[in-house]
Amino acid sequence: MAEVIVKIPDDLTEEFKDVKPVFWQLIVDRTINEELARLRMLKQVVSRSKLTKKDDAATTTTKTSGTKVQRNS
């Protein structure tokens, strides 16, 4: 089994002190599995996409909203 080392910010470490003991490995395992499932689904959707590099160059993502807008060419 592989090991993962996680660095936790001090403010979260303080919150851990106020929480009853939790089996963190189960939480991390579940979180990683959920993220892997999401990434597999995303990869599957993208693999069926007909979007080309030319199409992608015609759009841009706004930094504040994350929505794509069409550029006027």
Q: What is the DSSP string of 1-67?
A: ---------HHHHHHHHTS----HHHHHHHHHHHHHHHHHHHHHHHHT----HHHHHTEEE-TTT--
Nearest-angstrom CA–CA distance, 66 and 60 = 9
Position with higher pLDDT, 29 vs 65 = 29
State pLDDT tens for residues 32-59: 999 999 999 999 988 887 777 676 666 6
HSE, CB side, 13 Å, CA atoms: give it for residue 60.
6
